[in-house]
């Protein structure tokens, strides 16, 4: 059966209403295409999402938004996609992260002067390393994710990278070579004070290269990287609204089963057994899953082989176990984002858990019933096989219960105010992310091992015409900045191929 809704010319079909798919849809629709997004889940947003349990809202995606500051080139893209609107509140909590160390609160401040003074007071023997850290942070305050136009594209308004921007980026660019040879853990290990080591290795995952750490700290120090009002849900809903206001259509609960190819060109999708004809397809679901599952035979191009080879080393896939806890206690006034050493370490999925980090949302309204607080914990690590085996052996719920018991014991020791006050808990495993977002093994970013080249994969197929790709996997390490910028670039390739002016 044919869906006649899409029978007009220049119909673009997008797979996935995550940040990349919505971005590609917005720019393609602005540029005059007739765009329909097919989304398997019942809401838009993909990994950039949150969910409610018994009156508590668990922020499951965005923790800081790169590009919220007007100095960032990405700011323009977030504005053009309906995310940053005038009056939108962005919160820059400072300190960003706190470590409770032998009764003392050690803080990772966003403000670099404050950070230097505080760290020097805490650990005078680390002075030279603190100086080097702060110098690196200052260098990275000028770091920018470039937003440019592809060659040969007709554009309504150019997005040039100015000489001024190149100059501000230069100090960070000159440090990338040396820092990319180190992991975050190695960078942190230089410090003598254990709390400083713990803070630095808890900002992002310790396996990332040190460039990611300094880019993040530089982003914070420059006044960027705040938490956007309404978090992930509002961000995704605003993008979806922007797309629909432009005339685009999102079909939720509609999983794309295959991309149809005729005469070497993408010509439609199979959704729910139905053929949906289209003039072009943008696959904005996880590329790693798409190249295997959406094509018959699976897509085998030079870049897909490289992507598979690079991410097949299991450590290269970033995934997590996400824990949300609702407590009947008001935690306002206590550090919002903290990391601590677990008094009684416990084993989880074959790993000894000695430290835990948590975030609470007591200062944000709408995240919990009055007088109560939503807490989230993210355990980074590849536990895919552990949970898969637990599911196959019928132990999935039991394993979740064991984990939450350990977590609650550790958390209650750290935060006595919550003792016996947990009203609700929820755990999302890599299997949950796989089920809801269709990502490979439930992973949502990619780790570039130290020293390895940061590869950017193809935005368009070399073998199949009118077929484009966007999403976090196209450019490691991924995240929403990559999702939004690859969505924009995929729309530019589409415009160039169809001889259409790209409108922003
Ligand atoms: C716990 C957690 C914390 C995070 N923190 C941050 C942070 O602080 N800052 C940051 O920048 N990033 C963060 N991220 C990462 C970020 O959320 C993701 O990298 C980003 O949202 C990926 O967007 P995407 O559009 O590329 O892909 P996805 O979010 O994976 O979107 C793909 C969409 O495609 C849909 N789909 C898949 N297959 C099909 C199919 N066959 N048919 C139809 N639809 C399909 C999925 O349902 C999904 O909606 C975090 C992620 C998690 C999970």
Long-range contact pairs involving 298-301 (C-beta distance under 8 Å, separation at least 24): 299/461, 299/463, 299/464, 301/458, 301/461, 301/462, 301/463
Q: What is the mean pLDDT of residues 15-23?
A: 98
* Ligand 1 binding pocket includes 212 (Cβ within 6 Å): no
From the CA of 295, how far away is ligand 1's center (Å)? 21
* Same domain, residue pair 215 and 134: yes
Name the residue of 16, 224, 375 whose CB sits within 8 Å of the most ligand 1 atoms, as the mutation to test its pocket: 16
**pLDDT at site 7:** 39
Is residue 151, in this structure, part of any structural domain at all? yes
Q: What is the mean pLDDT of residues 15-21?
A: 98
From the CA of 470, how far away is ligand 1's center (Å)? 11
27 pLDDT above the threshold of 90? yes
Is residue 504, in this structure, part of any structural domain at all? no
**pLDDT at site 9:** 63
**pLDDT at site 6:** 42
* Ligand 1 binding pocket includes 15 (Cβ within 6 Å): yes
Is residue 99, in this structure, part of any structural domain at all? no
Residue 363, token pair as written in the block: 């200062």
* Same domain, residue pair 324 and 436: yes
Question: Residue 43 and residue 49: Cα distance in Å, rounded?
Answer: 9
**pLDDT at site 162:** 84
Q: Which of 166, 199, 222 marks a domain boundary?
A: 222
From the CA of 457, how far away is ligand 1's center (Å)? 18
8 pLDDT above the threshold of 70? no
* Ligand 1 binding pocket includes 63 (Cβ within 6 Å): yes
* Ligand 1 binding pocket includes 320 (Cβ within 6 Å): yes
Q: Which atom of ligand 1 is nearest to the CA of 286?
A: 30
* Same domain, residue pair 387 and 407: yes
**pLDDT at site 288:** 94
* Ligand 1 binding pocket includes 379 (Cβ within 6 Å): no
Is residue 88, in this structure, part of any structural domain at all? no
Total tally of structural domains belonging to the chain: 3
CA-based nearest residue to 221, from 166, 299, 140, 286: 140
* CATH number assigned to the domain comprising residue 461: 3.50.50.60
Residue 313, token pair as written in the block: 């080393």
* Ligand 1 binding pocket includes 378 (Cβ within 6 Å): yes
* Same domain, residue pair 326 and 428: yes
Place of tokens 């858990």: 353
Is residue 80, in this structure, part of any structural domain at all? no
Question: Is 354 in contact with 345 (CB distance < 8 Å)?
Answer: yes
**pLDDT at site 314:** 64
Q: What is the mean pLDDT of residues 318-342?
A: 97
Q: What is the mean pLDDT of residues 238-242?
A: 98
* Same domain, residue pair 341 and 427: yes
Is residue 58, in this structure, part of any structural domain at all? no
From the CA of 442, how far away is ligand 1's center (Å)? 10
Q: Which of 419, 440, 461 marks a domain boundary?
A: 440
* Same domain, residue pair 270 and 419: no
Strands 265-271 and 256-262: antiparallel
2 pLDDT above the threshold of 80? no
Tens-digit pLDDT profile for residues 196-224? 999 999 998 888 889 999 999 999 999 99
Greater pLDDT, 388 or 450: 388
Tens-digit pLDDT profile for residues 481-501? 999 999 999 999 999 999 999
**pLDDT at site 62:** 86
Q: What is the mean pLDDT of residues 236-257?
A: 98
**Count of residues making up the chain:** 504
Tens-digit pLDDT profile for residues 179-194? 999 999 999 999 999 9
Residue 402 sits in which domain range? 320-440
* Same domain, residue pair 453 and 436: no
Is residue 21, in this structure, part of any structural domain at all? yes
* Same domain, residue pair 336 and 425: yes
3 pLDDT above the threshold of 50? no
| Average pLDDT taken over every residue of the chain | 94
265 pLDDT above the threshold of 90? yes
* Ligand 1 binding pocket includes 444 (Cβ within 6 Å): yes
Residue ranges with strand state E in 60-201: 90-91, 97-101, 104-108
From the CA of 462, how far away is ligand 1's center (Å)? 25
* Ligand 1 binding pocket includes 19 (Cβ within 6 Å): yes
503 pLDDT above the threshold of 90? yes
* Ligand 1 binding pocket includes 326 (Cβ within 6 Å): no
From the CA of 444, how far away is ligand 1's center (Å)? 6
Is residue 86, in this structure, part of any structural domain at all? no
**pLDDT at site 448:** 78
111 pLDDT above the threshold of 80? yes
Strands 467-469 and 280-283: parallel
From the CA of 492, how far away is ligand 1's center (Å)? 21
Name the residue of 81, 479, 486, 487 whose CB sits within 8 Å of the most ligand 1 atoms, as the mutation to test its pocket: 479
Percentage above 70 pLDDT, the chain? 98
Q: Which atom of ligand 1 is nearest to the CA of 23?
A: 25
Name the residue of 47, 276, 285 whose CB sits within 8 Å of the most ligand 1 atoms, as the mutation to test its pocket: 47
312 pLDDT above the threshold of 80? no
Provide the 10 A C-beta neighbour count for residue 263. 6
Question: Residue 181 and residue 216: Cα distance in Å, rounded?
Answer: 17
* Ligand 1 binding pocket includes 479 (Cβ within 6 Å): yes
* Ligand 1 binding pocket includes 239 (Cβ within 6 Å): no
CA-based nearest residue to 184, from 122, 113, 136, 119: 136
Tens-digit pLDDT profile for residues 129-159? 999 999 999 999 999 888 999 999 999 988 8
4 pLDDT above the threshold of 80? no
Q: What is the mean pLDDT of residues 60-76?
A: 91
Q: pLDDT category, 313, cuts 50, 70, 90?
A: low
Q: What's the farthest any 2 CA atoms get from each other in the chain?
A: 73
Tens-digit pLDDT profile for residues 154-183? 999 888 788 888 899 999 999 999 999 999
Q: Which of 392, 423, 440 marks a domain boundary?
A: 440
**pLDDT at site 86:** 82
């Amino acid at each position: 059966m044919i869906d006649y809704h899409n029978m007009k010319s220049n119909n673009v079909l997008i797979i996935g209403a995550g940040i990349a798919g919505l971005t590609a849809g917005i720019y393609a629709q602005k540029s005059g295409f007739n765009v329909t997004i097919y989304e398997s889940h019942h809401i838009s947003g993909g990994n950039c999402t949150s969910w409610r349990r018994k009156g508590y809202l668990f922020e499951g995606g965005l923790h800081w938004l790169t590009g919220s500051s007007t100095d960032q080139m990405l700011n323009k893209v977030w504005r053009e996609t309906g995310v940053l609107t005038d009056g939108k509140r962005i919160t820059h909590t400072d300190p960003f992260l706190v470590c409770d160390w032998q009764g003392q609160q050690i803080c990772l401040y966003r403000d670099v002067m404050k950070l230097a003074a505080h760290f020097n007071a805490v650990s005078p023997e680390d002075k030279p390393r603190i100086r080097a850290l702060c110098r690196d942070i200052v260098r990275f305050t000028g770091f920018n994710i470039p937003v440019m136009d592809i060659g040969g594209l007709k554009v309504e308004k150019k997005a040039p990278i100015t000489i001024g921007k190149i100059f501000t980026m230069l100090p960070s660019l000159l440090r990338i070579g040396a820092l990319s040879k180190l992991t975050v853990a190695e960078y942190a290990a230089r410090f003598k004070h254990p709390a400083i080591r713990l803070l630095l290795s808890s900002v992002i995952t310790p396996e990332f290269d040190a460039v990611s750490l300094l880019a993040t700290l530089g982003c914070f120090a420059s006044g960027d990287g705040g938490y956007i009002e309404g978090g992930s849900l509002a961000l995704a809903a605003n993008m979806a609204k922007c797309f629909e206001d432009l005339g685009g259509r999102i079909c939720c609960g509609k999983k794309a089963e295959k991309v149809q190819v005729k005469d070497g060109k993408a010509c439609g999708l199979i959704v729910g057994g139905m053929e949906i004809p289209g003039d072009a397809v943008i696959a904005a679901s996880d590329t790693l899953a798409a190249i295997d599952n959406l094509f018959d035979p699976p897509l085998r191009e030079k870049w897909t082989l490289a992507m598979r080879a690079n991410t097949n080393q299991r450590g290269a896939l970033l995934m997590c176990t996400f824990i949300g806890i609702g407590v009947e206690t008001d935690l306002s006034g206590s550090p919002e984002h903290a990391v601590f050493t677990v008094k009684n370490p416990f084993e989880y999925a074959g790993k000894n858990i000695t430290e835990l980090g948590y975030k609470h949302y007591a200062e944000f309204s709408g995240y919990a019933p009055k007088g109560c607080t939503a807490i989230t914990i993210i355990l980074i690590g590849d536990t895919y096989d552990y949970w898969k085996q637990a599911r196959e052996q019928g132990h999935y719920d039991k394993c979740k219960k064991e984990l939450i018991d350990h977590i609650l014991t550790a958390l209650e020791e750290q935060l006595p105010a919550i003792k016996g006050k947990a009203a609700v808990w929820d755990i999302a495993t890599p299997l949950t992310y796989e089920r809801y977002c269709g990502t490979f093994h439930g992973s949502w970013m990619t780790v570039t091992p130290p020293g390895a080249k940061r590869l950017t994969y193809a935005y368009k197929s070399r073998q199949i015409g009118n077929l484009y790709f966007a999403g976090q996997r196209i450019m490691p390490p991924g995240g929403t900045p990559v999702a939004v910028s690859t969505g924009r670039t995929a729309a530019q390739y589409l415009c160039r191929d169809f001889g259409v002016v790209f409108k922003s």
